[in-house]
Structure 1
Amino acid sequence: MQAAQTRRDIILAATRLFTRQGYAHTSVTDIAREAGVAVQTIYSSVGSKARLVTAMLDEVDTIAGIPPLAAELIRSTDAGHVIDLQTRLTRQLNERCQEILVGLRSAAQVDQAIAAAYADGHARHIAGARRGAERLAELGALRPGTDVDTAAVALSAFLWLDTWVQLTTDHGWSFDRAEAWLSSSLRALLLAE
C-alpha cells in the first residue's frame, strides 16, 4: 500500500510540475523533489519521465475507481442503472482527478508527449460513452429514433470534463447535485418511456 501511495505521489507531483513548467522543462530531479522521494525511487516505481505521462492516465483510472464501475455497467440489465453508472463513473473521475485532467489538458497545448496522453484519455472517454450507448441499445432501451451514435455523442458531451467543471466550479453545484441532474437529464433524453 505504501508503494502504491508513493507511486501516486510521484505521478501527482509530475502532473503539477508538467502543468506549471512544461514537460521539457521538468527534470526527474524536479519531480523527486516535489514528491519528496529519491530520484531512484521514481525510476523503480514508475520508470522514465516519458513513462510518467502514460502512468498518469493509468493512475487516473485507479484513483477514480473506474474498472469496477465499468464492469458493473456492462453487466447491468437496467437501462436507468446503466445511465446512473455512466454518470457516476465520470463523476468519480472528475471529483477525484480533476486537477490531473485539467493539468494534462493545459500541458497538452505545449507538449507533444502530454498531448498524446491527453488525446488517449479523450479517446477513452469517447469509447466509454460508446460502450454505454451500445449497452442501452442491447437492452432495447433507447428512445425511438435515437440510434447508438446519437446516444454515444449525448453521453460523451453531457459527461465530458468541461461539463463537470462548469457545473461544479463555474456554477458552484455540489457533485451530488451535478450527478443527479446529469443522470436524470440523460434518462429523459435517451430512454424510451
Structure 2
Amino acid sequence: MAVKRRYESVHRQEQARQTRQAILRAAEALFVDPGYAATPLTAIAARAGVAIQTVYKTFGSKQALLSELVDVTVAGDDEPVALPDRQFVAEIRALTGARARLARYAQHLTETHARQAQVMLALAAAATADSEAAAIWRKNLEDRRNGMAMFAADLATTGELRPEHTVDTAADVLWLAMDVRNYDWLVRQRGWPPVRFQRWYVDTVAAALLVASP
C-alpha cells in the first residue's frame, strides 16, 4: 500500500505540474495578445483546458499569475534557485578578466531576452494603464537593478573599472545596457543576429566601464 500511495502522490504532483505549465503557457499567449487588461482568467482557463476554479486554486489571482509568469520566463524554469546560486553566475565568477565576465553575461542575457522579450514588453505596456501590472513591473526593475549591483561588485574585484566609476554607477550602466528594449530594437526589429547583439553589449559596456587595455 505504501508503494501505491507514493506512486499516486508522484502522479498527482506530475499532473499538477503539467496543469500549472498549461496555465502559464495560456497566460503568456493571451497577456501578449490581446494583452493583460483585456484577458480575463476565464479566457486563460479556456485556452489551458482547465476549469476556472483550477486557475484560482493554482495561482490565486490574475496578478499572482502574471507575477509567476514573469519569474518563470526570466529564470527559464520554475526551480526555487536564487539568482546568486544559478550556474551562469558561478561561471561568470570563475572567469578572471572583466571583459570575459561581460562576454559570459552577454551570452546569458541574449538567451534570456530571446525567451522573455514578448512577455516583458507586454508587461511594460500593461504597466502604463494597470496598477497591478505596474507593481510587478516596478518589482522587476528593482530585481534587475539589484542583480546588476551584484554584477558590478564582481566586476570591481577585477580592478578594471575606470576610476570615475563606483560600484553604484557601474550598476547603473549595466542596468541600462541589459534592458530588454535594446534587444527588442536591435534583434527583433532590426534583425541583428544574436551573436552581433552579444558583441555590441560587450563592446558598449566595456567602453563605458573598463580601463583601456594596454
What is the TM-score with the length of structure 1 in the denominator?
0.84
What are the ranges of 5 or more consecutive residues in structure 1 without an aligned counterpart?
Answer: none
Over 3 Å counting, the alpha-carbon distance change for 1:33 and 1:106 in structure 2 is same
Whether 2:171 is the aligned partner of 1:152: answer yes
Contact 1:104–1:114 (8 Å) recurs in 2: yes
Over 3 Å counting, the alpha-carbon distance change for 1:23 and 1:180 in structure 2 is closer
Structure 1 Cα separation of the partners of residues 18 and 209 of structure 2: 40
Q: CA RMSD in A?
A: 2.6
Structure 2 Cα separation of the partners of residues 4 and 141 of structure 1: 45
Partner residue in 1 for 2:3: none
* CA displacement 1:43-80 (0-9 Å, x = unmatched): 34433323102212221233179633234435544322
What are the ranges of 5 or more consecutive residues in structure 2 without an aligned counterpart?
Answer: 1-13
Partner residue in 2 for 1:92: 111
Contact 2:24–2:69 (8 Å) recurs in 1: yes
Structure 1 Cα separation of the partners of residues 151 and 77 of structure 2: 18
Partner residue in 2 for 1:122: 141
Larger Rg belongs to = 2
* CA displacement 1:113-147 (0-9 Å, x = unmatched): 11101111111122222211111112212123332
Contact 1:83–1:132 (8 Å) recurs in 2: no
Partner residue in 2 for 1:184: 203
Contact 2:27–2:44 (8 Å) recurs in 1: yes
Whether 2:49 is the aligned partner of 1:30: answer no
Aligned-pair identity (%): 32
Partner residue in 2 for 1:175: 194
Q: How many aligned positions are there?
A: 193
> Within 5 Å, which residues of 2 pair with 1:69-88?
69-74=88-93, 76-88=95-107
* CA displacement 1:143-177 (0-9 Å, x = unmatched): 23332233212211122111111111232101121
Pick one of 94, 100, 106 that aligns with 2:125: 106
Q: Secondary structure at the match of 1:104?
A: helix
Shift of 1:84: 1.9
Partner residue in 1 for 2:161: 142
